[in-house]
């Protein structure tokens, strides 16, 4: 399976009055991790969209175990558990100081920008991902 990690620091603007990263930020943290995971493969969202492919989120979920606080460095682990079809599932584990603070997932669909219809993933993406599933 494909796995990648990235890091980001909790900014002051993302925190509530208690100093906790607000729950609404986690979907943004997932997106950051997902974009960086694809970039680590040699593929960018910008290139995907330039080739006529959108990937809207069609499902998401999150489990909050411990809070992330202002200035914490979050390690985002992104896992793609299986080779994508017309959908691609991403699973996330967020850590602060090696302590698991959050688990989540998103499912994205491959959609043709011109027609708005579901489509298969681009061959270029499958070519990059396939070695992780052999």
Task: Supply the CATH number for residue 100's domain.
Answer: 3.10.129.10
Which pLDDT does position 100 carry in this prediction?
98
For residues 8-22, give the mean pLDDT: 94
The number of domains in the chain is 1
Measured CA to CA, the distance from residue 47 to residue 130 in angstroms comes to: 19
Q: Which two tokens stand for residue 42?
A: 């040699």
The whole domain housing 89 covers 2-133
pLDDT of residue 64: 97
- Torsion sign, CA atoms 124, 129, 93, 9: negative
* Kind of pairing between the strands at 99-109 and 2-9: unpaired
8-state DSSP, 51: T
Confidence at residue 37, expressed as pLDDT on a 0 to 100 scale: 97
Give 22's pLDDT tier (boundaries 50, 70, 90). Answer: very high
User: Among 58, 68, 76, which Cα is nearest to 23's?
Assistant: 68
- Quote the pLDDT of residue 87: 97
pLDDT tens digits for range 73-107:
999 999 999 999 999 999 999 999 999 999 999 99
Lowest-pLDDT range of 44-48, 60-64, 118-122: 44-48
Q: How many helices (H) and strands (E) does the chain have?
A: 3, 7
């Amino acid at each position: 399976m494909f796995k990648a990690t990235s890091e980001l620091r909790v900014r002051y603007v993302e925190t509530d009055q208690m100093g906790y990263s607000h729950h609404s930020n986690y979907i943004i943290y997932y997106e950051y991790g997902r974009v960086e995971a694809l970039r680590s493969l040699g593929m960018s969202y910008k290139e995907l969209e330039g080739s006529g492919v959108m990937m809207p989120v069609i499902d998401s979920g999150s489990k909050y175990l411990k809070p992330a606080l202002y200035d914490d460095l979050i390690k985002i682990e992104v896992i793609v558990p299986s080779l994508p079809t017309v959908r691609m599932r991403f699973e996330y584990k967020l850590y602060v100081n090696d302590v698991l603070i959050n688990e989540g997932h998103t499912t994205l669909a491959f959609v043709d920008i011109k027609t708005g219809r579901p489509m298969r993933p681009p061959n270029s993406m499958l070519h990059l991902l396939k070695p992780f599933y052999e």
